[in-house]
Amino acid sequence: MTPGSGLQAGLKNRHLSMIAIGGVIGAGLFVGSSTGIATTGPGILLSYALVGTLVVLVMRMLGEMSAANPTSGSFSAHADRALGRWAGFSIGWLYWFFWVVVLAVEATAGAKILEGWIPAVPQWGWALIVMTVLTATNLVSVGSYGEFEFWFAGIKVVAIGAFIVVGLLAVFGVLPGVHSDKAGFSNLTAHGGFLPHGPGAILTGVLLVVFSFMGSEIATLAAGESEDPQRAVTKSTNSIIWRIGVFYLGSILVVIALLPWNDPSIKEKGSYVAALDSLGIAHAGQIMNFIVLTSVLSCLNSGLYTASRMAFSLGQRGDAPKAFARTTSRGVPRAAILVSVLFGFLAVFFNYKFPDSVFLFLVNSSGAVALFVWLVICFSQLRMRRIIQREAPEKLVVKMWLYPYLTWATAALIVFVLGYMLTDTEHDGRETVLLSLMVAAIVLVIAVVKEKVLGGRTAEGVEAAPADKVSVG
């Protein structure tokens, strides 16, 4: 293949729409919600609402910057320009690190399900197969990534939509052939009250659910490879409120209405499987396994795409090897994809050989990166708004509400959540924050030393280019 001239606009509007919708539905919603419900009770709805509000505000800020300047580097490129090269370098590499660890987590989760169906292939073999197939789709073209993600996300959306409809029909007692004596909105208050463990449990719930929201920002990275980046960013930003409201709050409300929050089956089987089982739906566990597998494959697909595009952007700005910024004739950053998946495979190996030492360290040391990313987005938007108003005010098609007060309030809330995590020893919150801060400090030192020693750009003198100077066609 002859080298390409940059990323290409290979994502269609329907791809972007589904990437935006599916991006907020992670496998963590299906797998992790049971612990949150058992720990917090019905008040977990407030935890989801609090984190959901936080995500809506952060995505509004990111949408403002990305609509004005769509780029594959998204918030890393914005931080580079607004806060300095050290910020773009640090948050870009931390975000890349987060996603290559996620690749291993999701590949292992998917392999466990597949091994249960076809035990003749060992778990490590399934992990290898899944990652190899998705690497191949990402290497073909951005369009093939978009097509796979369109169907993966579509299955997730249809599944949750069907779950909510069926669940509500059962709660109101109009689902044909089903009578559940446990279902009813009275479950919200009947078993020890709405907050059986007190108001403090809401914050504990926040710690348990906050990481299942990571991925909302993928649409802003993908927009740089769409036909109309500004429209794509604006649309995904404006729709995030209903997406979080329906898929997170709606589905969790249905789970709690179908079963008492303290029903043992929620922890034993998982919240969604337990809810389906309570309705007597046959093969509920296998149905949910299929949906979780789809979510895992979607997360793997998007994780590989996201990590490679961040590596591409870092290479473009001289903060990673030049090879990362080279594309094939199809507009695919092949080196960035292969290096990202290589580290993913390495993490999978650590998961099988050293699950309680090396891999646990990798997971915990990347765990708080989501909050770091959101915090950097806040501070970038504070500076970037003034830059856009000065240089191109007509590009402010998406605006953060109540700027700058709501931006400062959002940053304060993120800092508060990080601080509260330091008090959490029961769910590894303290260890996660401290290890993540340690890794962030190492990356930050490298960024500062690199800037002091080398100075300027190392990749052919490129600056953090605005989207209109980056080849997307």
Q: Is 313 exposed, middle or buried (0-12, 13-18, 19+ CB in 10 A)?
A: buried
Strand-pairing partners, residue 11, are 226
Give residue-wise pLDDT tens across range 397-447.
999 999 999 999 999 999 999 999 999 888 788 999 999 999 999 999 999
Which tokens belong to 21? Answer: 């919708």
Cα distances (angstroms) measured from residue 426 to each of 238, 270, 405, 431: 37, 20, 34, 10
The number of beta carbons lying within 10 Å of the beta carbon of residue 28 is 20
Residues 104, 351 contacting (CB under 8 angstroms) = yes
Residues 88, 247 contacting (CB under 8 angstroms) = no
Q: Which DSSP state fits 270?
A: -
The predicted model gives 232-250 an average pLDDT of 86
CA angle in degrees (0–180, nearest 5) for 78-84-90: 80
| Amino acid in the structure at residue 174 | V
C-alpha distance across the termini of the chain, in Å: 17
**What span, in angstroms and rounded, lies between the C-alpha atoms of 32 and 208?**
8
CATH class of the domain defined by 13-455: mainly alpha
Report helix, strand or coil for 464. coil
Give residue-wise pLDDT tens across range 364-381.
888 889 899 999 999 999
Q: What would the 3-class secondary structure string for 27-40 be?
A: HHHHHHHHHHHHHH
Per this entry, what is the length of the chain? 473
Quick check: 41 pLDDT over 50?
Answer: yes
The predicted model gives 84-109 an average pLDDT of 92
Cα distances (angstroms) measured from residue 338 to each of 125, 223, 324: 19, 22, 10
Torsion of CA 401, 402, 404, 406, to 10 degrees: -80
How does DSSP assign 323-338, residue by residue? Answer: GGG---TTS--HHHHH
Cβ-Cβ contacts under 8 Å for 124 (sequence gap 6 or more): 111, 348, 352
Which tokens belong to 462? Answer: 């490129």
Quick check: 22 pLDDT over 80?
Answer: no
pLDDT of residue 462: 43
| Amino acid in the structure at residue 358 | V
Residues 218, 19 contacting (CB under 8 angstroms) = yes
Closest CA to 460 of 285, 253, 317: 317
Please report which confidence band the pLDDT of residue 188 belongs to, taking 50, 70 and 90 as the band edges: very high
* Identity of the highest mean pLDDT range in 139-143, 290-294, 402-406: 402-406
Closest CA to 78 of 319, 388, 323, 320: 388
Which tokens belong to 259? Answer: 């079963």
Mean pLDDT of the chain: 87
Q: Which residue is associated with the tokens 């500076």?
A: 383
**What span, in angstroms and rounded, lies between the C-alpha atoms of 13 and 21?**
12
How many Cα atoms sit within 13 Å of 420 on the Cβ side? 17
Helix, strand, coil: what percent of the chain each, to 5?
Answer: 75, 0, 25
Determine which helix (DSSP H) or strand (DSSP E) holds 164, and give its type and residue range.
helix 142-171
Please report which confidence band the pLDDT of residue 13 belongs to, taking 50, 70 and 90 as the band edges: confident
Do you find a cis peptide bond into 404, omega within 30 degrees of 0? yes
**What span, in angstroms and rounded, lies between the C-alpha atoms of 24 and 331?**
26
Residues 266, 259 contacting (CB under 8 angstroms) = yes
Strand-pairing partners, residue 226, are 11
The predicted model gives 103-132 an average pLDDT of 91
**What span, in angstroms and rounded, lies between the C-alpha atoms of 167 and 93?**
42
Report helix, strand or coil for 442. helix
**The model's pTM:** 0.89
Give residue-wise pLDDT tens across range 314-362.
999 999 999 999 999 888 999 999 999 999 899 888 988 888 888 888 8
How does DSSP assign 355-410, residue by residue? Answer: TTTHHHHHHHHHTTHHHHHHHHHHHHHHHHHHHHHHH-GGG--S--TTTTHHHHHH
The predicted model gives 185-204 an average pLDDT of 90
Q: How would you label 107-132 residue by residue, b for 16+ Cβ within 10 Å and e otherwise?
A: bbbbbbbbbeeeeeeebbebbbebbe
